[in-house]
Structure 1
């Protein structure tokens, strides 16, 4: 048990160190030496947990999807779930270097090696599933395609967080996320149901 706990601490230190390095310099600007220095571990320890720089980068990309656990455990995922996930991601981009690095890695890899679509596809599928359930309950307009709406939401928020990063260092990201939902919700939700949803996030917002 002590050995397992020590291994988990080391793995966490590697992820944190790699996240700081990738967040500062991007994928191609970061060497394994940079990661070792940031993490304070040996090369042997790094390779015990991760077989390559690419594997380590993928682990950080996957960090953004940790919010899925809360959605899967929710009783009735729907419109408010999608709103809350966007707000949770906004907060985590500011406060969590792992998530921040993961987002940068997706952008870096897309710009240098061709489009990396898998993370976007996962978010679109998640939001589509939430919206399909909401539509069955009458919370999404019947004539809308949940898949197309999900793609619009992901594209809108992706652009929003990039512009927020450039213009304010993401200081206004939560506020801008609320504004996005204030604009989108009337187009998605039937008027009689609008008052059910909080564009600023709910009290049950994901942490």
Structure 2
């Protein structure tokens, strides 16, 4: 009986998060009311308050969704530069296909911009990238003169700007192409020439298979 109640409670909680994601993705934190969340979630306000005592708690719970794309990093035996490349592609894919990740990123940008900015999500991204880039440099995959923490910070800032620009210009239709461009242009400046063939700006075969992405045609003229 208790297990059944817990299962029903978790179903309700996920319905609330899904409804909140739809609302926040569409109108942002300031433009979304709890009534909007209730409407999209198909639950009562009482059920919403049982799981989430405020709109901010609900928003911050959703903001954690973005880190689902990083969930496997701690289990990697040899995280490195290709790991970071793949993570950017997985995040780009999530932004295009998962409303909860889109809402999460929109909330991060809103919470982390001008009014009482919160750098915590950005710092978490930087730490994850740094944790992959440090062993990569130790293996000789990144030039020894590179400050890998600075590189991690640059990558997080670059991805944030690229995805926002892609969202505004094309509704993120060109986001994968822009991520490939980022790595194609960046890798020669951070990787020893002899090691460049080890890294695929379009994502590793395993990454492409996981998110069902084709390999870009190297002869194709980049869009835009």
Q: TM-score, normalised by structure 2?
A: 0.89
SS of match in other structure, 2:206 = coil
- The corresponding residue for 1:58 is 60
- The corresponding residue for 2:135 is 133
Per-residue deviation, 1:157? 1.0
Which one of the candidate residues 11, 17, 26 is aligned to 1:9? 11
- The corresponding residue for 1:72 is 74
Per-residue deviation, 1:112? 5.0
Distance 1:28 1:136 in 2: 45
* Matching of residues 20-169 of structure 1 within 5 Å: 20-169=22-171
Per-residue deviation, 1:134? 0.5
Residue ranges of structure 1 left out of the alignment (5+ in a row): none
Distance 2:144 2:67 in 1: 29
Which one of the candidate residues 185, 195, 201 is aligned to 2:187? 185
Per-residue deviation, 1:49? 1.3
SS of match in other structure, 1:128 = helix
Aligned length: 207
> Per-residue CA shift, 1:17-73, capped at 9, x if unaligned?
000000111101101111001101011211221121111100111100112221111
Q: TM-score, normalised by structure 1?
A: 0.96
SS of match in other structure, 2:205 = coil
Residue ranges of structure 2 left out of the alignment (5+ in a row): 212-224
Q: Pick 1 or 2: higher relative contact order, CA cutoff 8 A, min separation 6.
A: 1
Judging by fraction of residues, say which structure has more helix: 1
